[in-house]
Amino acid sequence: MSWTRYEMHKNRKIKKGILKGALLMLFLLLTVFIINFYRATVEHPPKAGDLSSLQLVRIETDTNKFFYGNNWLRKSKSGLYEMYLEGGPFERGVAFGKLTRELLYYQEEAFVEQIRKLVPSETYLKFLKYFVGWFSRDLGKHIPEEYLLEIYGTSFSSSPAFDFIGTGYQRQLNYHAAHDIGHALQALKMTGCTSFSFWGGKSSDSTLITARNFDFYAGQKFAENKIIVFCNPESGLKFMMITWADMIGVVSGMNEKGLTVTINAARSAIPLKATTPVTILAREILQYAGDIAQAVSISEKRKLFVSESLLISSAADGKTVIIEKSPEKFDVVLPQSDQIICANHFLGSAFSDDKTNIENIYGSDSKYRFERVGELLDMVDKVSVRDAAAILRDRKGRGGTDPGMGNPLAINQLIAHHSVIFSPSDLLVWISAGPYQLGEYVAYDLKKVFSGETAGDPVSREISEPDLSIPADTFLFSADYSCYGKYLKMTGDLDNYTRNHEKLPESFETAYIETNPMLYLVYSNLGNYFYENRLYEKANEYYQMALSKDVAGEDERNKLLKLTEKVHKKLGNVHSRN
């Protein structure tokens, strides 16, 4: 072998060695990354000392009536589920899970279906799965041990059918941050709520009243099975909350001291990782705070990863305040009169120069709804509980205009998971039976429930107070409501036609418009269909019609304007080719 060939052979061996070394290093780096990613994203459950509660057997005494130890679940005549829980955190969680096993499967299936509908791309869904895993990598470190144990207890009833998302515990843990993650992925538009409170001279009997719509939308199926939980925890205060299967966090609730907590989302900057979910903070306040000062103290201890308003009403204080929290700032908004209103933007001085909050006020539908509540409160000199229900059900725009059924500008957007009215001094609560806030507001007297008059005996009689209930909205039985049902169905059909590039059935356009002629979304949906099918003149026509209606905020209007610009460019290209 010549010296030159020897050198070439030697160089090739060196290069191969370097390549092998580089590949080995890359393999090792990938292995380390995967191990660290797994360690960082996989939450391991806490250690429960006593597992004996897992050995109890659920007893079904009648259709939709179950016992699990001293805990029980029943379906009332109103359609609302009522549940009593007691004991330590792990025991409560196990009982919650065992009692709602079938409801949990249905709830999780509905939630996953809605996510698939919002995010039809399998590739993006996989990305979301890993994003949420990484984003929530330290979630368990920011949740009190008591609630981790309770969540762990519920996870024993999680169906393996959804293990492709994660283990039962991982899923239940992350579902408690769904409200917050919906903020982080703002394009999903899952949250938007309205609440208000009045007392003293504004109240018909001077007592404190608080009312709220919880507009967390994860599909119609998700809102079907509302659960009213009456909880007697081993430590802290007895409380009630409106929730769904295995959700131990609080979105709306009242405790035995007459302190209420409701949460309203505000626009957030995109967070880098999850900390304390707001529903867990709200639960801690409800379980351990007896007045506003204690609620504020608990709130100051916890770090949220999105921006939230917590409306806190207190029988002890005889008034309501708003705690406003972002990941960086904190404020308490005090009432300036005998009423206070909360939508989805901040009011406090700490956020007066906050860029995100200013953009939210001028770009979203929040300020519009806030002002509409103010209009309606101003129309009534002394507001009663029934007046509060009428405000929660209001479908009009400012000045009584008609923005179309289901418009986010309305207080009643026809998407509410639940609607609730509290009377903290009397420990009375009215909860909408559905659909939305249109059904009967079912009344409960928490003095009776918390005193034990109903605990342990759910089968013999209804535990609600029928004499105090508020009748269903007459709109529920109207031709307009029937049209709204048709609108929802046809919107789903139109989504499918758009996605599959299918031709619309004859007269579909006219029939669809007739279901909800004042709603801008009808026209923008049709515009999107024709845009996707490259019928740009027709798309432009419908986008212009959408812009002529009451659009839900400047952000939405700007999106429509950008779509019209895209259409005009497409039309220009078509004309230039011709």
Average pLDDT score over residue span 490-496: 96
Q: What is the pLDDT of residues 261-304, one digit of tens each?
A: 999 999 887 777 889 999 999 999 999 999 999 999 999 999 99
* pLDDT value at 33 more than 50: no
pLDDT grade, residue 572 (50/70/90)? Answer: confident
Structure tokens at 259: 């302190």
DSSP string, 247-298: --S-SEEEETTSEEEEEEE---PPPSS--B-HHHHHHHHHHH-SSHHHHHHH
Structure tokens at 541: 């026509």
The DSSP output letter for 571 is H
Q: By three-state DSSP, how is residue 210 classified?
A: strand
Structure tokens at 17: 């060695």
What ranges do the domains of the chain cover?
Answer: 1-41, 59-84+190-475, 479-577
pLDDT grade, residue 460 (50/70/90)? Answer: low
Considering only 53-62, 254-263, 275-284, which range has the smallest mean pLDDT? 53-62
For helices 168-175 and 101-118, the axis angle rounded to 10 degrees is 70
pLDDT grade, residue 164 (50/70/90)? Answer: confident
Q: What is the pLDDT of residues 74-114, one digit of tens each?
A: 999 999 999 999 999 999 999 999 999 999 999 888 878 87
Between 462 and 455, name the one with better pLDDT. Answer: 462
pTM of the model: 0.89
Cβ neighbours for 90, distance < 8 A, ≥ 6 positions apart: 48, 50, 51, 53, 149, 150, 152, 153
For domain 59-84+190-475, give the CATH number. 3.60.60.10
511 touches 489 (CB < 8 A): no
pLDDT of residue 453: 65
pLDDT of residue 4: 55
pLDDT grade, residue 188 (50/70/90)? Answer: very low
Identify the helix (H) or strand (E) that includes residue 75: strand 71-75
CA-to-CA distance for 79 and 244, rounded, in angstroms?
13
pLDDT of residue 459: 57
Considering only 31-35, 82-86, 560-564, which range has the smallest mean pLDDT? 31-35
* pLDDT value at 386 more than 70: yes
243 touches 251 (CB < 8 A): yes
pLDDT of residue 13: 54
- Give the full edge-to-edge strand order of the sheet including 81-87: 59-62, 65-68, 71-75, 81-87, 227-233, 239-243, 252-255, 259-265, 308-314, 319-325, 330-333
394 touches 377 (CB < 8 A): no
Sign of CA dihedral 123, 265, 486, 437: positive
pLDDT of residue 454: 55
Across all residues in the chain, what is the average pLDDT? 88
Average pLDDT score over residue span 149-159: 95
Query: Which candidate, 121, 135, 137, 112, places its Cα nearest to that of 44?
Result: 137
Query: Which candidate, 251, 202, 203, 200, places its Cα nearest to that of 229?
Result: 251
Cβ neighbours for 49, distance < 8 A, ≥ 6 positions apart: none
Average pLDDT score over residue span 219-242: 92
pLDDT of residue 324: 98
Average pLDDT score over residue span 434-447: 96
pLDDT grade, residue 371 (50/70/90)? Answer: very high
Average pLDDT score over residue span 506-516: 97
10 touches 3 (CB < 8 A): no
230 touches 376 (CB < 8 A): no
pLDDT grade, residue 570 (50/70/90)? Answer: confident
Between 36 and 131, name the one with better pLDDT. Answer: 131
CA-to-CA distance for 357 and 348, rounded, in angstroms?
10
Query: Which candidate, 320, 319, 307, 311, places its Cα nearest to that of 282?
Result: 311
* pLDDT value at 135 more than 80: no
Q: Which fold has domain 479-577?
A: 1.25.40
Tokens 């802290």 -> residue: 236
Average pLDDT score over residue span 146-175: 91
Cβ neighbours for 305, distance < 8 A, ≥ 6 positions apart: 180, 184, 271, 273, 274, 275, 276, 327
Structure tokens at 12: 């090739």
pLDDT of residue 44: 79
315 touches 258 (CB < 8 A): yes
Question: For the chain, what percent of residues have pLDDT higher than 70?
Answer: 86
Structure tokens at 174: 């992350």
Between 255 and 132, name the one with better pLDDT. Answer: 255
In 177-246, the DSSP E strands lie at: 194-198, 209-214, 227-233, 239-243
pLDDT of residue 16: 57
Identify the helix (H) or strand (E) that includes residue 314: strand 308-314
Average pLDDT score over residue span 226-237: 97
pLDDT of residue 2: 55
Average pLDDT score over residue span 430-443: 96
Identify the helix (H) or strand (E) that includes residue 339: strand 339-342
Q: What is the pLDDT of residues 11-20, one digit of tens each?
A: 555 555 555 5
pLDDT of residue 140: 86
pLDDT grade, residue 34 (50/70/90)? Answer: very low
CA torsion, ordered 509, 510, 515, 519, to nearest 10 deg: 70
DSSP string, 430-499: EEE-SSTTTS-EEEEEHHHHHHTSSTT--SSS--S-GGG-BPPPGGGGSHHHHHHHHHHHHHHHHHHHHH
Sign of CA dihedral 440, 445, 450, 453: negative
Average pLDDT score over residue span 1-17: 54
* pLDDT value at 420 more than 50: yes
pLDDT of residue 577: 58
Whether 479-577 and 59-84+190-475 are alike in CATH topology: the answer is no
Q: What is the pLDDT of residues 238-250, one digit of tens each?
A: 999 999 998 999 9
pLDDT grade, residue 115 (50/70/90)? Answer: confident
pLDDT grade, residue 176 (50/70/90)? Answer: confident
Between 22 and 223, name the one with better pLDDT. Answer: 223
